[in-house]
Chain A
Amino acid sequence: MASISIPVEKRKSALVDWLTTVDHKKIGIVYMGLSFFFFIFSGLLALAIRTQLAAPGMKIINQEFYNQAFTMHGTGMIFLFTIPFLVGGFGNYFMPIQVGARDMAFPKMNAFSLWLYVFAGLMMEGGFILSIIANATGWGDLGLGSNASWNAYVPYSTRAFSPQAGVDVWLIGIALNGISGTLGAVNILVTAYSLRAPGMSVWRLPMFTWALLTTAVMVLLATPVLTAGLIMLTTDRNFSTQFFTTADPRMWQHVFWFYSHPAVYIMVLPAMGVISEILPVFARKPIFGLKALMISTALIALLGFTTWAHHMFVSGVNPVVQRFFMFTTMLIAVPTGVKIFNWIFTLWGGSLNMKTPLLMSIGFISTFTIGGITGVFLGMIPIDQQLHNSYFVVSHFHYVLFGGSVFGIFGGLFYWLPKVYGRMLNEKLGTIQFWLMMIGFNLTFFPQYILGLLGMPRRTATYIPDRGWDLYNLLSSIGAFTIAFAVLIFIINFVIYIVARKGEVAGDDPWEGNSLEWMTPSPPPEYNFKTIPTVHSERPLWDLRHPELADSGKHH
Chain B
Amino acid sequence: MDGRQKLQPIHDPRRKNLGLFGAIVFIVSESMFFMGVFLVWFYLRETSPAWPPLGIARPNIALPVVNTVIMAISTIAMIIAERGVARDNQRALINGTAIAAATGLLFMTVMILEFASLGFNPTTNAFGSSFVMVLVFHVLRVFAGVVIMAVVLVRALLGQLNSSRRALVQACAVYWYFIASIWLIVFYFLYIKL
Residues of A within 8 A of B (CB): 1-8, 11, 101-103, 105-107, 182, 185-187, 189-190, 193-196, 220-229, 232, 235-236, 239-243, 245-248, 251, 254-255, 258, 521, 525-527, 530, 532
Contact = CB atoms under 8 A, between A and B. Distances in A.
A242 B123 contact: yes
Contact of A190 (B2, B3, B11, B18): B18
A220 B40 contact: no
B174 to A, nearest CB: 14
Given A229-B40, A527-B5, 16 more contacts: A4-B8, A102-B9, A186-B22, A220-B28, A220-B29, A221-B29, A221-B32, A222-B32, A225-B32, A228-B36, A242-B124, A242-B125, A242-B128, A242-B129, A258-B36, A526-B6
Contacts of A240: 122-123
Contacts of A241: 122-123, 129, 133
Interface string B119-154: 000111110111001000000000000000000000
B156 to A, nearest CB: 22
A199 to B, nearest CB: 13
A101 B15 CA distance: 10
A4 B126 contact: no
Nearest to B10: A4
B39 to A, nearest CB: 7
B4 A227 contact: no
Contacts of B118: none
B39 A255 contact: yes
A532 B12 contact: yes
B30 A4 contact: no
Interface of B: 1-9, 11-15, 18, 21-22, 25-26, 28-30, 32-33, 35-37, 39-40, 43-44, 47, 122-126, 128-130, 133
Looking at chain B's contact residues, the main secondary structure is: helix
B47 A195 contact: no
8 contacts: A2-B11, A4-B11, A8-B6, A224-B30, A224-B33, A232-B129, A235-B133, A239-B123
A302 to B, nearest CB: 15
B29 A182 contact: yes
Nearest to A216: B25
A11 B5 CA distance: 11
B125 A246 contact: yes
Contacts of B129: 232, 235-236, 241-243
Nearest to B17: A194
A106 B11 CA distance: 14
A103 B9 CA distance: 7
Contact of A525 (B3, B9, B25): B3
B14 A7 contact: no
A194 B15 CA distance: 8
Contacts of B39: 225, 254-255
Q: Which 5 A-B pairs have the closest CB atoms?
A: A228-B36, A224-B33, A225-B36, A241-B129, A527-B7
Given A105-B18, A220-B32, A243 B130 contact: yes
Given A102-B12, A228-B36, A521-B1, A5 B29 contact: no
A415 B119 CA distance: 63
Nearest to A109: B22
A189 B25 contact: yes
Nearest to A4: B11
A5 B130 contact: no
Looking at B9, B25, B28, B43, which has the most chain A CB atoms within 10 Å of its CB? B25
Given A6-B6, A224-B30, A526-B3, A248 B47 contact: yes
B6 A106 contact: no
Contacts of A245: 126
Contacts of B122: 235, 239-242
Looking at A1, A106, A527, which has the most chain B CB atoms within 10 Å of its CB? A527
Nearest to A183: B26
Contacts of A103: 9
Nearest to B13: A2
B25 A190 contact: yes
B127 to A, nearest CB: 8
